[in-house]
Copies of this chain bind each other. A is one copy, B any other.
Amino acid sequence: VKNIQAPSREDQLLDWLQGQLSGAGQQLLGDDAAVLRLEGEWAISLDSQIEGVHFPADLAPSIVARRLLAVSLSDLAAMGALPRYAFLALNSPSSFDHKEFFRAFLEACGGYQLVLGGGDLATSASLCTTLTVVGARRGRHRWLLRGGARVGDRLWVGGTLGESAAGRLLIAAGARWDGESRPELPARFSRSPEASSAAARAVIRHLAPRPQLQLGRWLAQQPSGGVLDISDGLSLDLSRLCRESGVGAQVERRRLPLPRGFRSLCDELGRQPTQLALSGGEDYVLLFSLPVDQEPPPELGCFAIGATCAARELSLRSGNRIEPLLARGWDHLAARGGAGPGNPEA
C-alpha cells in the first residue's frame, strides 16, 4: 500500500493502469525506464498515428488504440517477428478518455500476447500517439527483409488492395464508425446495396486493419524472398522492395486483387479501382516475393500479382500492353490537404 497519495492526475491514472495490468506489465511500469531481459536478436519498430493525418478528429479512443496497435504490429509481421513488448507515447487533449483508450489497448495487447512495457503521457492540442514495438524471432525462423527478392521470383500480396483507401475517402466525405455497429455512410451516398455493403466494409477495413502476423510467421519459415508491408501504396512499397533487392518488377493489372463490390464503390467515389489498388495505401497486407516453385498455403488468402525481373524498373502489364508503373502513394513528407504531388488524393 502506498500511503502517500498519488500526487497528480498522471499518477492517479498510472495507479489505475497498474491495477489493470497483470504480471509482467505491472513489473515494468512505474520507473524511469522498463528493464527487460532480452537474449538474442530483436526487431524494434515504431509508428505514429496522428489525429487529422492518419485518422479523423472524432474517432473513438478505443478505435484509435486498436488501430495504433495494428499498424505497428504490421511492421513486426513484415519482419516475421513475434510481438513481445510495446511502449506507448500518448499525447492528447485534456478531455481525452484515457480509460477507454487503455481498456481497448490492453485488451488488444492481450490478444496479441504483447506486454505494455512503458509509456509517456502528455497533454497536447490534438491527439498524437506513437507506439514502439519489440518483437522476437522464433527458433530457426529468419528475419524478413526488403532486400530478399531475387530475379524471377513471383510477387504476392496478402490480401485485397485499395479498400482501406476507399474507406479513407468515405470517412473524409463524412462516414463514421463507432467500432461496433454498421458504419454510417455519407448522407449523399447511393443506396445501391452492393456499393453500400462494400462501403461499410471499406470504412471498417480502414479503421480496423489486421496485421498479418500469421502470414509473417509462415514466410519466416521459407528460405528466401523479400517482404514488406504495404502502408504507403502497392506501387510505392514495391519500388522500395525492388530498390533494396536490386531487381525490377512487373505487375499484371488483371491480377490485382480487388475487394467484393469494389468497382461499384469506386464508381460512387469517382475513382479508378486500379489507381486505388496501386497507390491508395494503408492496405496493411504483406507484399512479398517467393521463388516460383513456392506458394503460400491457400488459407492465408494471398494473391500472385506479378514477378520480379532483372531490368530495374517497374511496369504494369494489361493484356499485351506494358506501361511504366509509377511509384505513387502516400508520401509522409508531402504537404497535406491534397496538395502533395506524391499523394493519391492530389
Q: Which residues of A contact B (CB under 8 A)?
A: 2-4, 6-11, 13, 30-48, 50, 52-54, 75-76, 78-79, 81, 85, 87-89, 91, 94, 98, 117-126, 128, 130, 132-135, 143-147, 228-229, 232, 235-236, 239-240, 242-244, 246, 248, 312-314, 327-329, 331-336, 340, 342
Q: Is the CB of B48 within 8 A of A91?
A: yes
Q: Is the CB of A118 within 8 A of B46?
A: yes
Q: Is the CB of A4 within 8 A of B314?
A: yes
Q: Which of A133, A144, A328, A331: most chain B CB closer than 10 A?
A: A331
Q: A244 to B125: give the CA distance in the assembly, Å.
A: 32
Nearest Cβ in chain B — how far from A16, in angstroms? 12
Q: Is the CB of B42 within 8 A of A40?
A: no
Q: Is the CB of B41 within 8 A of A130?
A: no
Q: Is the CB of A94 within 8 A of B333?
A: yes
What 6 additional pairs, Cβ within 8 angstroms, besides A9-B334, A33-B78? A4-B312, A36-B44, A38-B40, A44-B87, A46-B87, A53-B122
Chain B residues with CB below 8 A from A31, complex form: 79, 145-147, 228, 244
Q: Is the CB of B314 within 8 A of A236?
A: no
Q: Which of B7, B117, B125 contacts A327 (CB 8 A)?
A: B7
Q: Is the CB of B327 within 8 A of A32?
A: no
Chain B residues with CB below 8 A from A44, complex form: 33-34, 36, 85, 87, 117-118, 132, 134
Q: Is the CB of B79 within 8 A of A123?
A: no
Nearest Cβ in chain B — how far from A281, in angstroms? 11
